[in-house]
Amino acid sequence: MVVVSLPEINSRLCMCSLPTAMSALNEKTICDQYGRVTDMSAVVFVCVASDTVCKQFNLHKNVVQCPMRDLPDMGDEFIEDRVTAAVAVVNSALLTGKTTVVFCNQGRNRAPFVCVMYAKKHGNKASGCVVKYVRRENRGRGKNILTNREFLDYISSHTYIHLTKPVLKLSVFRRVLRAFARAA
């Protein structure tokens, strides 16, 4: 099975569905839509599926768990924490030089959502352009890629402040951002 590579966001960022991730974990390699094959020793999987799906990977060393549900089931603060955690895990894995595969149950909403939010935070990419790009790269999976209205609203309404160097601890920075959001 083939993972979807997103080279315009990051040359080592990929996404897929749960069956594709399971197949790759069993086969010990991944292959992207361009035919590039990567050995499993250089791959980190980030599971952004539901809690129950993530628990299947408790003992697997290549899988980092960042459980998410669809946005209507969560409060805004919970969403922010989960998205921030998933984006931070993706960024950390990419900084180690490993290919990073983000996956969820079907690879249609949560995984693309995390990849778009990563691109917004770490790539200074415009929302509309990134959403179109992710949909275009996923065209083999059909037309229902990143169609969850709540995800799209969150993507378009959420902005990141880009700092040139860290000034605050992340926890303090989050509290400051929440205070700004409440004041607005």
Name which CATH class applies to 2-183.
Answer: alpha beta
Question: How much is the CA Rg of the chain, to the nearest whole Å?
Answer: 16
Q: What is the pTM of this model?
A: 0.79
CA 59, 30, 114: angle at the middle one, nearest 5? 70
Cα 104 from chain centroid (whole Å): 9
pLDDT value of position 173 = 61
What's the half-sphere exposure (Cβ side, CA atoms, 13 Å) at 2?
13
Q: Which residues contact 139 (CB under 8 A, 6 or more apart)?
A: 145
Report pLDDT digits (tens) over 84-137.
888 989 998 899 888 999 998 888 888 999 999 999 888 767 778 888 999 888
pLDDT tens for the chain, residues 1 to 184: 688 999 989 999 999 988 888 888 888 888 888 888 888 778 888 888 877 777 777 657 778 888 877 655 555 556 777 888 889 899 988 998 889 999 988 888 889 999 999 998 887 677 788 889 998 888 776 678 888 888 888 888 876 654 444 444 566 667 766 776 776 5
Identity at 103, one-letter amino acid code: F
**Domain ranges in the chain?**
2-183
